[in-house]
């Protein structure tokens, strides 16, 4: 089973849409809230060259076999999840 990590912030409706979608699909995920934690945005900047959320990481982070969905829109998340059949 793959790990799913959602980087989000309070008040972000795109973030809420992502988390609602994952919940509806019965996909367990970890939420990393960057609200008022600029150092977490620095992590996103270092990893992906972006500071915005939501970012969804799918895979095995410890083994380095994961991909990040940085585009806004559920369709990008759906595509990435289809590529990782082991998520469910």
Q: Report which secondary-structure segment, H or E, holds 53.
A: none
Instruction: Describe the strand order of the beta sheet including 30-33 as a list of residue ranges.
Output: 30-33, 3-8, 55-60, 65-69
Per DSSP, helices labelled H in the chain are 13-24, 38-48, 74-83
Would you say residue 87 has pLDDT above 50? Answer: no
- Token pair in block for residue 32: 């990393």
pLDDT band at 83 (very low <50, low <70, confident <90, very high): confident
- Give the tens place of pLDDT for each residue, 22-80: 999 999 999 999 999 999 999 999 999 999 999 999 987 667 678 899 999 999 999 99
pLDDT value at position 11?
Answer: 96
Structural domains in the chain, sorted by start: 3-87 (3.40.30.10)
Report d(CA 18, CA 75) in Å as an integer. Answer: 10
């Amino acid at each position: 089973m793959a790990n799913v990590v959602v980087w989000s912030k309070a008040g972000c409706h795109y973030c809420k849409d992502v988390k609602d979608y994952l919940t509806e699909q019965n996909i367990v995920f970890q939420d990393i809230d960057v609200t008022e934690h600029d150092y977490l945005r620095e992590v996103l900047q270092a990893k992906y060259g972006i500071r915005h959320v939501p970012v969804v990481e799918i895979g095995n982070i410890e083994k380095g076999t994961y991909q990040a969905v940085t585009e806004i829109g559920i369709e990008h998340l759906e595509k990435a999840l289809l590529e990782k059949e082991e998520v469910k």
